[in-house]
Structures are given as C-alpha cells and as structure tokens.
Amino acid sequence: MSGARGSRRPVPKGWRRLLALGFGLAVIGSLVATGAGASASLVDPESNGSVSEAEYVEPTPEPGDPYFEAAAEDGSWISYENPRDEYRSPYLGEGSGKICVSLLNENGDPVVGESVPNTSVTIPTNDATSWHSKANPMTVKFPMTDHYDRPLDGDEFGTSPEMSQGDGYLDSHCIELHGQPEDATIEYGEAEISGEHADKIDVVGYIQQVPEGDGWDSDIDPVAAAEPYEEVGGSWTYEPGATHGQVSVILQLNAAPGGSATPSDPAGNGSSGTTSGTDQEPDDGDETEDGNPMPGFGALAALVALSVAVIARHRNRG
C-alpha cells in the first residue's frame, strides 16, 4: 500500500542517553535472571536423590510362564518355581522353610548387586538343613545376575489389588526347604558380608515368620520392619498344624554421596569415587560445583561489566 510517511526528526541527545541506559539495564536484568535460574537448578532437591545402583525391575511370572507354579483358587496364596526349592529325601514330614536375602539400594528399591561385585553374604544354618545343596551355610554372591539363572525368585514385599501376595515384582533371593520333621528346629546365624565391597553393604536386620504366626505379611516396608538378630531369635520350631517358617535378611547399600559405586564404575574409582584411607585433593574441574558458591556467575559478571561499559560510552558520546 502506498501512502505518505511522516518526516523523521533526530532524537535529542538526552533521549539517546536514556534509551542507552534503559537498554543496558534490560540486558543486565535479563542476565541476572538467567544466572539466578541456573544457580537454582544446581540445588534442585531432585538432584540429590541419586543412588549407587538403579532398581532391578522384574515382574512376577504369570500363568503360562515356566516359572509360574500355582495359585489358590480363593486367591489366598501364590507360588513361583524356584531352582533353589528342594525336597528332603527321605521326606520326614510337612515342615517347610524359606530363607531369603533382599538387597536394597539407598531408596529401598530391590537391586541385584551390580555395584558391589566380588562381594557376598553368608548366612550360617544348622545341621537340620545340611541336606539342602544351597544351605549350611547359605551364600549369595553379587551381582546375582552373574551367578544365578534366576537371581530373584520371591515377591515378599509390597501389595497390589491384583496379587494375593506382594506387589507383582520380584524382590528376594530365596532357598526353600521341604520335608522336615514336624518338630524340627531350623536355626540360622547372623549374616556375614565379605569381599571387595563389604563396607558398602549394611545388614539392616531380619524379618521372621514363626510357624504358629499368621503367615507372611507382605504389606510392610522391609527396612522399617527389619529387627536386630537378637530380637528375632535366629530360629523357629515346627509344631503340628504350624509347619512353615521363614526369615528374610534385609541388606542395604550404604554408599555415601560422592563416593558411590555404579555399574559403569563398579570399583568407585571414577571422579566421584571413594577415598582409600587418605585425603584426596579436589579436582580443579569440579570447582564450579564444589568451590564456587555461585556457579555460573563468572561469565555473568563479565557480561554485566560489558553492558556497563556500553552505557558509559553512550553517555560520553551524548
């Protein structure tokens, strides 16, 4: 569209100075806002939720799966095939038992020990279990995925409206014993951690179901429910009509922040690795994370100074 345009007039010097000053202040404000946002993102609480090993997620077997064994028609129980499930020969009675190990990360999620290779837990058991090939003692090696075709076999904790027991995900490595006399006593000792990363695993405690109890309750937090060895007693005795006992040994990774071992750095020797008894000098490359109280503001300060210089130049020229 054609049309007449108004004539342009020169901007007075005073206005030029005000415009330059306003532009500079806008740039500074934008830079400060950007820097403040970057600083806040570095202290985001979610960034502190790292664990030394990610959760191991394996759903429980469903009907039709080779590892699905059976389930009660009334939904009162469910059973999965376990390669460590053995029957005594000769079969002396209906006494049965289960000894499980649950290894959890710092958030309480089940893991298989990829961050603690060449490490194991041993649970002594008495002679009444000596016929079982994986008992007397029971030893679990980490990572379980390297040593067992079926690393986890039990869903011992959590709930789901679709499950009669558990939450539908495996969380425990167990041995099962069947065919014990109905007056037998099963004894187990305190768990012993040994190997390369023994110092990164804590024995939280033990959860025991005694034969005369109400059965295994999976609606519990394993860390909160675990008790000291002295309190659980380290044994159970079968009685007629009460012929099943179980204990779960609860272990938890304890890697400290900045010293965690991960599957990609199993020995913890990377930039965030643990020390080996001596103090280590901080890496200069980590200064923006640990040494500078306001990370990201070095470049910001330079840009602010440049903006101020531009403003001063405009003022001098005006």
Query: For the chain, what percent of residues have pLDDT higher than 70?
Result: 64
* pTM score over 0.75: no
Q: Is residue 274 part of a domain?
A: no
Domain of residue 111: give its range.
Answer: 68-253
For residue 40, being part of any structural domain is answered with no
278, part of any domain: no
Return all residues near 12 (Cβ < 8 A) that are at least 6 apart. Answer: none
Q: Which residues of the chain have pLDDT under 50?
A: 1-11, 15, 18-21, 23, 25, 27-48, 256, 258-317
What is the number of structural domains in the chain? 1
Task: Evaluate whether residue 147 is within a structural domain.
Answer: yes
Report which of 139, 130, 253 is spatially closest to residue 191, judged by C-alpha positions.
139
Asked if the structure places residue 241 within a domain, the reply is yes
Residue 6, domain member (yes or no): no
Residue with tokens 């490490």: 119
Report yes or no on 82 lying in a domain: yes
How do beta strands 138-142 and 173-180 pair?
unpaired
